[in-house]
Each structure stands twice: as C-alpha cells, then as structure tokens.
Amino acid sequence: MIKDEYPLLIFPYAPVAKPRQTQRDRWGTNKRKSVERYHEFRDKFRVTMNLQGFYVDPDLGIRLKLYMPMPTKSWSKKKKGYMEKMPHKQRPDIDNLEKGILDALYEDDSKVWNLWTSKYWTNSEGSFTIQNFDE
C-alpha cells in the first residue's frame, strides 16, 4: 500500500531504456546514439537525485509510473486526446525502461525485490515518477 509518508518523486523528462552495449560502446569513442542517449539520461537523473537529496529505499517496494511521449506528427489531435493516459503497449519495452532507471538509481540494483511499474501515453515531453510503498 502506498502511504502519504513516502514522497512522490517527479522527474519532468522521459525515461530512456537501457540498451544492450557492445564492446565498441564500452571502450570505443564512436558510441551508438542509443547508448549516448541513455548515458545522458542516467547522468541527468543522478544529478537530479543528488541535488534534491532524494532517496529511494530498495528495502521497500518501488512504484514506477512512466509517461511516454506520443508521436508528434503522425497522430491526429483526436487520437492524441483519446490516448492520453492510456496504457503504452509498445516499444520501448517496460523491462528495459526499468533497467535504465534502476541502474541509474543504484550501484547494485540486485537489492530491489519488489517493483511495480506502469507505462502510459502522454501528450507532453514525457516524465516518470518514483515512490516507495509498503507491501
């Protein structure tokens, strides 16, 4: 159960899925765009967490709500209005988004034992929230 005593942390930018990295991505100077985009997200996320003094306890459950941006040109205003806050059921996969956030949040994310994640459409630039909860 989510209690009011656990703060709701809101991040006003879209989450980025963690890509599979190749040797070239790890050691080379010519990294793929997906890897560079993830590293930018990870660094921005860590800076936000440190500046705000946020802490997410891995010993409690963690609730993630991911708001994914809609296509800007290919969808009509009517479709965008209909799809606002509807479940997002396409790529990027929810597990890769979870990995991206948890790897940025913790050095060792194996301590996370209870994770509840939902993914929705939004007509904004995208965002995500994190909140601890008791089981």
Query: In order along the chain (135 residues), what is the average pLDDT of each group of 10 residues?
Result: 76 92 70 88 94 91 96 93 96 95 93 96 95 88
Sequence ranges of the domains in the chain: 9-133
Q: What CATH architecture applies to the domain 9-133?
A: 2-Layer Sandwich (3.30)
Beta bridge partners of 128: 11, 66
Amino acid identity, residue 20? R
Q: How many CB atoms lie within 10 A of CB 10?
A: 11
Model confidence, pTM? 0.88
Question: CA-to-CA distance for 56 and 4, rounded, in angstroms?
Answer: 14
